Structure 1
Amino acid sequence: MTAPLSHDLRQRVVGAIEAGESCRSAATRFGVAVSSAVKWSQRYRTTGSLAPGKMGGHRKRLL
């Protein structure tokens, strides 16, 4: 499983979007997926936080 991208990168991408740049161009400029840039900006608008969401979950026992 991969680790979340850095908080600094998230701040730079969302800062560019808040400054008026489109999600697509900000994602291209910083080298992240467009879907990530959209999700980060939506999360920032709704919660005010850029912290990554919970990863993983409960795994049922096999036996």
Structure 2
Amino acid sequence: MGAPYSLDLRKRVVAAIKGGMSRNKAAKQFGIAISTAINWARLEEETGSIEPGQMGGHKPKAISGEHAVWLQQRIRANDFTLRGLVAELAERGLKVDYGSVWEFVHAEKLSFKRKRGGWRTRSS
């Protein structure tokens, strides 16, 4: 993943645009995309700053607190399916998707493996 452009470059592009240069020409002169120059000029007009926004960051867990405790107890109690757990959590007021429940179960090492059926005997 790329890093944001330097603050120095941002300042020079916006200063050139404020000085009367077109956004298109400023983009070509500084070797950036036209849309980037337009966005930086708009950002400076709207907020007064051209600081880059945050990239990435910590994504909070979808299942936490009392829902996580309940889910751990529910999984240890008896058999389950992930889709069934999604439905049960929805009944309890927490709307999550299949992937969130799978991540929780996987992170807690609570997976449930079904027992395989016995081998069938072959008829001759």
Q: TM-score with structure 2 length normalisation?
A: 0.47
Q: How many residues align?
A: 63
Compute the displacement of 1:54 (Å).
Answer: 1.9
The residue type equivalent to 1:4 in the other structure is P
What is the alpha-carbon root mean square deviation over aligned residues?
1.7
Distance of 1:48 and 1:7 partners within structure 2: 14
Which aligned runs of 4 or more in structure 1 are off by greater than 2 angstroms?
A: 56-62
Q: Which structure 2 segments of 5+ residues have no match?
A: 62-99, 104-124
Q: Relative contact order (alpha carbons < 8 A, sep ≥ 6): 1 or 2 greater? A: 1
CA–CA distance in 1 between the matches of 2:56 and 2:24? 28
Matches within 5 A, 1:1-63: 1-56=1-56, 58=59, 63=103
Shift of 1:59: 7.6
Give the TM-score normalised by the residue count of structure 1.
0.88
Give the share of equivalent positions with the same residue, in percent: 49
Q: Specify the structure having the higher radius of gyration (Cα).
A: 2
Q: Secondary structure at the match of 1:45?
A: helix
- Where structure 1 has 5 or more consecutive residues not aligned to the other structure, the ranges are none
Query: Amino acid of the residue matched to residue 40 of structure 1?
Result: W
